[in-house]
Amino acid sequence: MALRTLVAWAALGPLLWGCALALQGGMLYPQESPSRERKELDGLWSFRADFSDNRRRGFEEQWYRRPLRESGPTLDMPVPSSFNDIGQDWRLWDFVGWVWYEREVILPERWTQDLRTRVVLRIGSAHSYAIVWVNGVHTLEHEGGYLPFEADISNLVQVRLTAQTSLGPVSDFYTLPVGIRTVAVTESQFLINGKPFYFHGVNKHEDADIRGKGFDWPLLVKDFNLLRWLGANAFRTSHYPYAEEVLQMCDRHGIVVIDECPGVGLALPQFFNNVSLHHHMRVMEEVVRRDKNHPAVVMWSVANEPASHLESAGHYLKMVIAHTKALDPSRPVTFVSKSNYTADKAAPYVDVICLNSYYSWYYDFGHLELIQRQLATQFENWYKKYQKPIIQSEYGAEAIAGFHQDPPLMFTEEYQKSLLEQYHLGLDQKRRKYVVGELIWNFADFMTEQSPLRVLGNKKGIFTRQRQPKGAAFLLRERYWKIANETRYPHSVAKSQCLGNSPFT
Ligand code: GCB
């Protein structure tokens, strides 16, 4: 039996896509088990971007009714991938509008003949509004990228009988890997299994040459090897939940995760309204439902750099944080702030204060000598006001690999290294007091939209987009291994690799 799946979505940026047919859904990553089969739909799909003026020709002409090739030309598009980075057509590079994906699938006979079998179509993620038709039937809609959604499509693919008298119950089960650990926060510490934990890690992006945000195993394994090389023990999924395979790797390798929802760009007063609030809460429900079983996830972040100095933002974030805590009372909740300690209206509601600051980059650029004093003031002010543990959740500088200058100037590898060194001196002053983590911005260079601030994307990576180290990577490596060895978990082997330090294996 062939099944035709057609998906259209508004592409407001690169997309990640992965899907599977499973016998049972439930939103959890569909594990295989004796009662479950999966069919991966990864591979080549037919694709078309709707370049019409109103971007709605596909709906007007009902492209979903017939094979896509019959309504016009199509391209081959690998799934998962970002369509932006694949083609040579400049219009696709930053296209905003509906794009159409289509795939024909052959289903195993049992799925279509045995009426006790549930057939579930699951989309791992599609950016940012998706509509799904199966065999021409409107089946599913979902708003928001990065998170999975699914529908029971048994009715659409099974041949129904009139008499259904002999159907017995089916038992369906599957197993999940389990990790057990506790997480707690005191006035000045972040505790995992009752022991103080210091986050020494990175912020990442799901991004690489050609594949864009598309999920890719070789890239994932390479990144985890680099994290281990670096001695990193944590990362933040800035600024959206990453593919579930990433979290599975974190569980296996003992890398601790701050799991962030796609609450980014909440910069204007008009964003803090009831419609956004309810959507934001729904997204947090999806994030928690998807990721709650991962021991690697130790904290939820509900937003990155919202305009938290606004009264309306204070109320809004209070509600989202409370909702998240109600969904999962076992994990601390935060958001990442770039506000001033006197102005921030939402900091009272978080468990851990996460601060982004770009001293000597966006402010006082060139004045590396100010960093230590600025950091000390930042930490002391926030701590005095809130008595909560603090994470330096972003800091960094751009460096174009191969640019050198001494004395250091901006955009050179020397400048990036010197800036990091100054930050580290500042962090070390507070590290054993109440600062519980440092996450460099960024693990690797990544693509962005064009702007006078960006040189072929964001170059704050300590690795290039191709995952080669800049000078700063060696500096960070020295530091992270030193910290790792200081804070080693009892019973773990001497640290030739980070795995020995896993807090939950
Ligand atoms: C930030 C943002 C991050 C940017 C970074 C930068 O504060 O959280 O999304 O990429 O600064 O490099 O400007």
Mean pLDDT over each residue of the chain, to the nearest integer: 89
Cβ atoms 233, 502 nearer than 8 A? no
In degrees and rounded to multiples of 5, residue 51 shows phi and psi of -85, 5
CB of 339 within 6 A of ligand 1: the answer is no
pLDDT recorded at residue 44: 86
CB of 392 within 6 A of ligand 1: the answer is no
Q: Is 296 helix (H, G, I), strand (E, B) or coil?
A: coil
Ligand 1 site-directed mutation target among 338, 360, 394, most atoms within 8 Å of CB: 394
Please state the pTM of the whole predicted model.
Answer: 0.87
pLDDT recorded at residue 277: 98
State the greatest distance between any 2 C-alpha atoms of the chain, in Å, as a whole number. Answer: 84
The active-site residue out of 286, 305, 398, 413 is 305
> DSSP states of 396-446 as a string?
---B-TT---SS--TBSHHHHHHHHHHHHHHHHHHTTTTEEEEEES-SB-B
Cβ atoms 417, 398 nearer than 8 A? no
CB of 460 within 6 A of ligand 1: the answer is yes
Does 20 have pLDDT greater than 50? no
| Interstrand relation of 435-440 and 199-203 (parallel, antiparallel or unpaired) | parallel
Q: How confident is the model at residue 21 (pLDDT cuts 50, 70, 90)?
A: very low
Q: CB-based contacts of 384: which residues, under 8 Å, 6+ apart?
A: none
Question: Taking each helix axis from N to C terminus, what angle separates 217-230 and 244-253, rounded to the nearest 10 degrees?
Answer: 40
Peptide bond into 239 cis (omega under 30): yes
Please give the distance, rounded to the nearest whole angstrom, from the Cα atom of residue 38 to the centre of ligand 1.
Answer: 38
Q: CB-based contacts of 222: which residues, under 8 Å, 6+ apart?
A: 467
Distance of alpha carbon 499 from alpha carbon 442, whole angstroms = 22
Distance of alpha carbon 505 from alpha carbon 39, whole angstroms = 30
**Model confidence pLDDT, tens digit, residues 288-304:** 999 999 999 999 999 99
Please give the distance, rounded to the nearest whole angstrom, from the Cα atom of residue 357 to the centre of ligand 1.
Answer: 10
**Model confidence pLDDT, tens digit, residues 115-146:** 888 999 999 999 889 999 999 999 999 998 89
Please give the distance, rounded to the nearest whole angstrom, from the Cα atom of residue 306 to the centre of ligand 1.
Answer: 12
Apex CA 259: angle with CA 400 and CA 29, to 5°? Answer: 115
Please give the distance, rounded to the nearest whole angstrom, from the Cα atom of residue 263 to the centre of ligand 1.
Answer: 14
Q: How confident is the model at residue 488 (pLDDT cuts 50, 70, 90)?
A: low
394 is catalytic: no
